[in-house]
Structure 1
Amino acid sequence: MKSHSTALTRRRLLTGAAAMTALSACAARVPSSASTSTLSPEQQIGGVPISQIVDGYGLIEDAGYRLPPVPPKYLQGLNRRALVPYPGYESAGTIEADLHAKLLYWVQDDGSAWRFPVGVGRQGLSMSYDTTIKRKEKWPSWTPTQNMLRREPEVYGEFAGGVPGGLANPLGARALYLYQGSRDTYYRIHGTNDLASIGNSGSAGCIRMFNHDVIFLFPKVPLGTKVVIRDYSDSVAIEGEAVANRGYEQPATRVPAEEIYAAAAESGPPQFGAASNVESFGY
């Protein structure tokens, strides 16, 4: 992988059920001396009020990990999974990545496509050739490449031994590994804990998706799926100039290696989510 940059987010995971109170239009008069009760605040899950949880982006328990709901502020406009009429030129079964519009399409047989918002780093933007998914991993581990270690030893050297899979891992909940022939390109389509990066560009990284979205896509795309990169001129022609240039470049965020390893050690099975209580990191 060329590079990754994420920021892990603090989350408290709470469980509960919403309460609904029905008020009669013709309520009986309450004596002025009677005491009135105060409505309880709405329960939350992972800091998100239950009534605000967006369909498809709620609490997920997966392989012993608990992913909190995605706050609705990150799911505005195009930043939400949707089944749409496919606006491109690729055949059914293909994944088309528009790295300029920060959108990824999985093309269906009936002329529709599942559209996902993505975040992309500078290295991801350099992708200009077609690839094939030849490997898929759940809760993958991550190790910086030799090129990364040579290029920025002060950044990646601490992680030369690799970061185990889990909530603290920069590849998130799933990774799809992109190859040209038998050669690993080190590009990935993967999850992320850096929610603010979706719909934007980063100083590093490949193609990131909300963990909820990559978990949705992962079992549906078989090995051998073709991944096509849409060029800028097609992005403008298909999406319009504003969408083809959406988002902004975020600065890199670094978290000390000891925090990442500690979070990774505490985050996974059989215990849940201690990593959700620390700031996260990834490339």
Structure 2
Amino acid sequence: MMNEELKTRIIEIEDKFNLLKPYLESYSEYKGLINIQSRFCFSPDFLVVGINPGQGAFDEMNWKKSDVKFPNRILINPRHFENLDLDWLKYGNARKNGEWFETEKKVKNRFPKQFLEILFSVYKQRTGRNPILEQNRTDFLKFANNVVYTNICPIATNNETELKKIYKRLTKESELNQIWNGSVENFFKQRTIDLILLLKPKLLICVGFSVYKTLFSNKPNQDVKVFESHEVVKRRNADFPVNVITFSRKGAWDVKKISDLVAKRLIDQKPFNLES
């Protein structure tokens, strides 16, 4: 599937979010709409799914400004479409005033920092090369740009508690009742399933037990901080079997175990087209 066709299909999914914006912008907890936070492609090496975006983009837009502006990072927005590099790779995201490869600099955000460590480890296991070294960075970026990153819900908030407050408020908006198909949570779950069925990733990574529970209606054993499973993503008459790795996002992640499982699941995939 060509990227232009993929873009059109993703915009069709995202268009349903636009109906919510007039309501969301009146909620104090709302910090913008952010859907895909990376480049996108058909059959990516893995699709990473979290619960919802944080407030970082909102804070950046409204620093020392009196008029509140909300991030609108969906593909129909041309500015967002032109800036689709994986969020974790962007300058100053993982490291304070630093590039993604400047690991000696102070950590700014543990979330992208830990995910970069996972990508570094998987890349090393598959290639035997250190992605930090200048001669390997271009090849590492080829790998990183075959990773797609999104969330169950595109509504950015300070935390998950505020997201739940927004869900409750949306439930009370009588004009929106006809679009929920059961519940607000189910509405966003179905949009995520639509995206999974469209992209058909080789591997699905659930960032947090709540993501796994939402997508597959299974309650994980919370004593096991990292686990793998084989699941079937279902929507109407479409079934998509996929390998899934799920891990707890509380505290320090078990980066080694997560990386080893990801590398193991991708071991049979075609190796990167590395430069000699």
When normalised by structure 1's length, the TM-score is: 0.29
When normalised by structure 2's length, the TM-score is: 0.30
Higher relative contact order (CA 8 A, sep 6+): 1
Instruction: Return the structure number with greater strand share.
Output: 1
Instruction: Return the structure number with greater helix share.
Output: 2
